[in-house]
């Protein structure tokens, strides 16, 4: 991590110094992004149920760790939601979450399947490592971007948890008694999971969090419009070192060397892509 305190695991909402909140340092774009993130994080319970089905034969220790992981994700949602309610008195976290929950149901949670949608437990763990790489980088970027003291602390605590989650899933990946996957398959799973980041989940969370229930008829949900709105707020937060770390973590999960020319090249390409997206977003805002 680049700045500040390294937070231990096992924290609770009571450990956060909420009294340091400074309304003058709240930035509207960050607020919109945090509101959306709070809903996605708070929705972890279904994912725990799904993962416990996939890992049902993996022993009590793994199942208990999955419960702990889910509890921490839910707490991330609660902490981010509480901060957002402090920053915006018109935002009601539980109400926004209820709308999100009604409208967003990933198909692999509903099916009751006993096997991973990634084809194997190893594949499932690679996909989880990709997600935790993304969230640890994202909350590190929020922590570094904000001047608001409470958001800086909450994002720092959440980011530290996400790095620990990556470590847990990475270790679980290598404990599986399945044959190792070929590199192309690992890269395919990672790429597939990254492309899912553009799915309905983030766009719909952004909509439910930032369009009031009373305005639903006037401003109906449009996936492309709200995915673009989410990307506008998210892409500008990153700095180069967040992207380097993200790519190194994904490369390591895929069995590639974190410090290789190929990983460095992937990092440069992703950084260019984000810069292009960010400048396209700025241009579209300037022209509206
Ligand atoms: Fe989280
Ligand atoms: Fe996590």
**What is the tens place of the pLDDT at every residue in 249-267?**
988 988 877 677 776 777 6
Please state the pTM of the whole predicted model. 0.89
Say how far apart CA 87 and CA 25 lie, in whole Å: 10
Residue 288: the pLDDT is 47
Using a CB cutoff of 5 Å, list residues around ligand 1, an ion: 41, 73, 76
| Distance in Å, CA 111 to ligand 1 centroid | 24
| Distance in Å, CA 217 to ligand 1 centroid | 31
Say how far apart CA 203 and CA 206 lie, in whole Å: 5
Instruction: State yes or no: pLDDT of 285 exceeds 60.
Output: no
Say how far apart CA 125 and CA 120 lie, in whole Å: 9
Q: What's the whole-number mean pLDDT along residues 211-227? A: 93
Give the ligand whose atoms come closest to the C-alpha of residue 168: 2
Instruction: Provide the mean pLDDT of the chain.
Output: 88
Instruction: State yes or no: pLDDT of 1 exceeds 50.
Output: no
| Distance in Å, CA 252 to ligand 1 centroid | 20
pLDDT tens across 175-192, in order? 888 888 887 788 878 777
Domains and CATH numbers, the chain: 20-286 (1.20.1260)
Give the ligand whose atoms come closest to the C-alpha of residue 157: 1
Residue 267: the pLDDT is 67
Q: Which residue, chain included where needed, has tokens 């490592």?
A: 129
């Amino acid at each position: 991590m680049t700045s500040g305190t390294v937070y231990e695991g096992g924290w609770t909402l009571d450990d956060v110094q909420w009294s340091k909140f400074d309304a003058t340092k709240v930035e509207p774009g960050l607020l919109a992004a945090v509101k959306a993130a709070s809903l996605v994080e708070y929705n972890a319970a279904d994912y725990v149920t799904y993962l416990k089905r996939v890992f049902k034969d993996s022993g009590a220790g793994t199942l208990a760790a999955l419960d702990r992981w889910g509890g921490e994700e839910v707490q991330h949602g609660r902490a981010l939601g509480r901060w957002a309610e402090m920053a915006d008195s018109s935002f009601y976290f539980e109400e926004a979450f209820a709308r999100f929950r009604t409208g967003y149901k990933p198909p692999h949670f509903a099916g009751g399947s006993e096997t991973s949608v990634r084809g194997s437990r190893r594949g499932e763990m690679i996909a989880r490592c990709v997600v935790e790489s993304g969230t640890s980088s994202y909350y590190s970027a929020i922590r570094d971007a904000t001047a608001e003291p409470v958001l800086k602390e909450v994002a720092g605590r959440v980011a530290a948890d996400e790095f620990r989650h990556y470590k847990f899933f990475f270790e679980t990946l290598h404990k599986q008694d399945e044959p190792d996957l070929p590199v192309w398959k690992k890269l395919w799973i990672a790429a597939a999971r990254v492309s899912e980041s553009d799915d309905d989940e983030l766009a719909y969370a952004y909509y439910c969090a930032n369009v009031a229930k009373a305005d639903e008829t006037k401003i109906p949900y449009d996936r492309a419009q709200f995915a673009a709105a989410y990307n506008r707020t998210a892409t500008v937060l990153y700095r180069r070192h967040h992207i380097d770390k993200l790519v190194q973590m994904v490369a390591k999960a895929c069995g590639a060397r974190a410090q290789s020319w190929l990983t460095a090249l992937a990092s440069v390409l992703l950084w260019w892509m984000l810069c292009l997206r960010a400048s396209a977003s700025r241009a579209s805002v300037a022209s509206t």
